[in-house]
Amino acid sequence: MKRSRFTQEQIIGVLKEHQAGATAADLCRKHGISDATFYTWRSKYGGMEVSDARKLKGLEEENAKLKRLLAESMQDVSTLREMLAKNF
């Protein structure tokens, strides 16, 4: 996955500038981002504080880890079933 040039704290800072009254076009020009990026950030991080964003990142990492564990265990079960089917 591609790493962002901006940290979550910086993204939330840009969104707070927008809430304070700056236009989206001015912010995009100032920070060197596209309109699409700005609106994606707003949909994902809109209304969040920095602490909320950190919690979200931690939960996303935990979720990815659990998905990997589930995939590995399902693969193990599938392998065991194939081995049992060959023996009988």
Q: For 43-65, what is each residue's pLDDT tens digit?
A: 999 888 989 989 989 999 999 99
Close Cβ partners of 6 (under 8 Å, ≥ 6 residues apart): 14, 31, 33
Closest CA to 18 of 10, 7, 27: 27
**Per residue in 65-85, pLDDT tens?**
999 999 999 999 999 999 988
Percent of the chain at pLDDT above 90? 72
Mean of all residue pLDDT scores within the chain: 92
* 10-19 pLDDT tens trace: 999 999 999 9
b/e burial code for range 42-70 (CB count within 10 A of at least 16 → b) = beebeebeeeebeeeeeeeeeeeeeeeee
Which pLDDT value is given to residue 47? 87
Tokens in use for 25? 């076009």
What pLDDT does residue 87 have? 73
Residue 19 and residue 11: Cα distance in Å, rounded? 13
CA dihedral 34, 39, 42, 45 (to 10 degrees): -70
